[in-house]
Structure 1
Amino acid sequence: MKRIFKTRSRIAVVAVALAGAFAAASLTATAEPPASPAQADELPSSFQWESSGALIGPKPDGGHDVVSTKDPTVVHYDGQWHVFFTTANTAGAWSLAYTSFSDWSQASSAPHTFLDTNPNIGSRYAAAPHVFYFEPEGLWYLVYQTGLPSYSTTTDISDPHSWSAPRNFQDSMPDIVEDNIGDGHWLDYWVVCDDAMCYLFSADDNGHLYRAETSVGEFPGGFDNTQIVLQDTKNNLFEGEAVYRVGESDTYLLIMEAIGSDGRRWYRSFTSQGLN
C-alpha cells in the first residue's frame, strides 16, 4: 500500500491524558528484536508502560479560565512537535488549543494558542481533535466534534490562525446511530485511509463503534454507509477510539476506552487485517 495518509502513528512519545493533563508514556516491548522487515511490522507479544509526570497542563490567561487539558493529538513535522488538545474551563465549556516545541523537555513551558482566537473557528463547542496530513490534497486536516463530525484544513500546521472554518463530514446523525445510541452521545471522530477508501470511525458511549466510508477521490465528501463494526456493553466499549496502521503491513490496531462502573477509564485493543 502506498502511504497517502499520515497520522500520529509513528511517534517516539505517546501522549496520554491523565488527571486533566498530559503525561508521557513510553512503550517498551520485551519481545526479541525482529529478524526481518516483515517481523518489524508485528505488534509485540508483551510490553510494559513507564510514565512520567504531567507534561502539558492548563495555561489560563485573561480570556481563558482553563482548568483541564486532554485528548492530545500529536504529529512531528519539520523538526517540531505539534500538539492539539481539548480544553475545559470553569463553566464546563469545551474548546481546542495548540502548542508546539522541538523537544518534549520544553512541553511544559511552551505557550498555548487557543483556537477560539482564530476567527474562522471562533467561540464554539469543539473537542476531541485528531490531526493528520492528507497527501492527495497537500492539506493538514484537524478533525473534531462540534456536535457533528467536523474538520478544518490548513497548509501550515504551525499557524493556528490559518485553520479554515469547520465543515461537516456528515450533516446529521445517521439512522443507525440514532437507533442504537440510547442515552449516549455521538462523538470522538477518527479518520484513516487505505489506497482506495477513507473511513470515519465514531463512538456513542453506549457500546458501539461505527464506521462510515468514502473514496479517497471523494474525500472529504461522500461519507455514507455507516455501520456498526464492533459492539459490546457500554462499560466495555465506551469512547475515545483510535485506529493506526501497523508499520507497512496490512494490520490495523484499534484502541478504545472502556469505563468501569466507578467511572475509571481503561483501554482495550483490537487488530484487523484491513479497514473494510
Structure 2
Amino acid sequence: MRTLASFFGCPFDDDEFSISEINAFTSDHLERMIANNPGGILTARIGITTTLYGNLEDTYADDVSQLGERKGTKAAKRLFRKEELIRSVNRIVGVILANYDKGSPEMITCLPHGQSVFSSAPDDDLIAHLTSLKNGVVKYQATLGAEIGREPVCILVAFEDIHCGLLRANGGKTATQAARAEARLALQWGLYENLMAIVSLYPRQPEKATLYFQQHLLDHVARSGGGGGGTTPPPQSSASAQSNNSWSSLSSPPPSSSSSPAPQPSSSSSPSPSSSSPSASPSSSLSAEPGSSSSSPLP
C-alpha cells in the first residue's frame, strides 16, 4: 500500500516542469474538461482553472516584458559606454590638452583619476567620475569654450537616465518573478484539485485519467525517448499502472512468467527425459504430450 501521506503532496509541484510544459499541459487539460463535461459536472472546475491559468499567463507576460526591458537597458548602457561616452571624453580631453599641459593643475582638476577610468569604472562609480569631469570643465569654461563646457553635462545626464532605468528594471525583477511563482503554485494546486475532483466523479476508473489528462506532456522520460515512449501518449494500461502498480502486475503479467526454464521438446534434436517427465512445466506438457514425440525411442 502506498503511504497515505504521499497523497497530501501535489504531483504537479515539480521544478523540472518548465513554464512551457505547464502551459501546454493546462491548455490541453482545459479543452478536455470542456469537451467531456456531462451535465456540467466540471463547470466550476473549468472556471477556476481558466482563472488560475490566466493569472499565470499574465504574470509570465509581465516577467518576460521586464526581462526584455532589462536586457534592452543593459544593451543600451553597454553601447553608450563603449561608443558615445568614449568619443565625448576623448573630445573633451583633446580640448583640455590643447589649452593646458598634461599634468597641469587644470588637467588634474578635470581628470583626477586619469582618462582610462571612464572605460574601467563600474557604473555607480562612473557617475562620480563624470561629475568630477563636468565640474572641472565648467570651472575652466571661459578658456575651454561654452560648447565643450556643455558636453560633460550632456553625457552625465544621458548616463544617469540609462543607469536609473537599469536600476528600475532590476528592481522590478524580484516582484515579477515572485508574482509568477505564486501564480504557478496556485495553478499547480488547482490542477491537483481537478485530479481529485475527477477521481471522485469516476471512482476506481483509472482509465478516465487519459480522457482528461495527457501526462506525456509532463513526462520527461517519455519525451526523451526513455523506454521507447518518445512523444507518444502512454498506453491505456500505463494509467492503471500509475494508479496502482499491483493492478498492472495482475492484469498484464510479464512475458517471462508463462515460460519455463526447461528446454522445449519441439526445439530439441535429441531425446530429453523432461519431455515426458511428470514434473515438466504446463507449457511443455501442452506443446508435447508424453509419448507423442517421434524422436523418442520406444521400448
TM-score tier, shorter chain, comes to: under 0.3
More helix by share: 2
Compute the TM-score of the two structures, normalised by the length of structure 2. Answer: 0.18
Higher alpha-carbon Rg: 2
Compute the TM-score of the two structures, normalised by the length of structure 1. Answer: 0.19
